[in-house]
Amino acid sequence: MFSKIALIYKPTLKCIEIVKELSNAFSAGGCETLLFTVDDLLPAEVGNSQLVVVVGGDGTFLKASSVIQETSAFILPVHCGRRGAFYETISKPPSEIVEEVLKGEFIVQYYPRLRACRGSDCRVFVNELAVTSIDQGKITGFSLVINTPGISSRLEFEGDGVLIASSPGSAAYNLSAGGPLVDAWNSLMIITPLDPMQLNLPSIVLPSFSTRVRVSCRGFSSIFIDGERIATLTRGEEVIVSGSNSYLRVVRFKPRRDIVKNVIESRTIFSQ
């Protein structure tokens, strides 16, 4: 089913051992394998792969997903890190995982993504976009122009920034910022102000497929996509966020995960 495999891994001893076993198993199955550390990715090579295997935590997953932009590659997450919201518990040894994948004995979860455009520079993302004041510790003004088939509205507030998250991203920065947790299977856009001066300013949840949001800042600001700083925005420069038909195709071995349970367990500091 797959002939070219990219393995992206977090460079720790545990992850390296797992990658060795996976690479050997894929090679034994007649696949061409390419190995990359999460800090040394080659987007062109990864993008040409039919399957991208990610060995690490959520940070490694997000980094790998960022290089799978408009391609049809599948992504197989194998947990070997601290955070694992994107991972399912797999009790099988690496050789059995590879055997089932090559036989096609898996299901595919389609993760909805959002699209962000700064001028002609557009990219899709799976978690969130954040626009924050470049002067950390100093508030500034933010403007949101929201357009849907039923809504045309402008929201202005002062604060530290604004967060626009996808449904999968609702369990990440958005949740920590007080935003709602939604089912990752839904195609939604969650807008969450960061530390607004206005009291009782709630998050806004909209259908992503028909929503277009223009974000700008009164001062200089930074734009982050999935935790990575992308650029500095000048005063009044806009970023346009909309829905995307570019879904992230994630290989799963179980029909459905309890995302709420997984998120709560991953964020529990103390356990009995």
Question: Per DSSP, which regions of the chain are E strands?
Answer: 4-9, 32-37, 51-56, 74-79, 107-111, 114-118, 121-125, 128-133, 140-147, 152-159, 161-166, 188-194, 204-207, 212-217, 221-225, 228-233, 239-243, 248-252
Work out the burial of residue 157: count CB atoms within 10 Å of its CB; fewer than 13 is exposed, 13-18 middle, 19 or more buried: middle
Max alpha carbon distance in the chain (Å)? 60
87 pLDDT exceeds 90?
A: no
pLDDT band at residue 147, thresholds of 50, 70 and 90?
very high
Two tokens, residue 88: 């399912």
Q: What is the dihedral of CA 81, 87, 89, 92, to 10 degrees?
A: -80
CA 220 to chain centroid: 25
Two tokens, residue 187: 């195609």
Q: What's this model's pTM, rounded to 2 decimal places? A: 0.87
Residue 257 is predicted with a pLDDT of 60
* CB contact burial 19-42 (16+ within 10 A = b; e otherwise): beebbebbeebebebbbbbbeebe
- Say what percent of the chain tops pLDDT 90: 64
What are the respective helix, strand and coil percentages of the chain, to the nearest 5? 20, 40, 40
pLDDT, tens digit, 9 for 90 and up, residues 38-83: 888 777 677 788 999 999 998 899 998 888 877 778 999 999 877 7
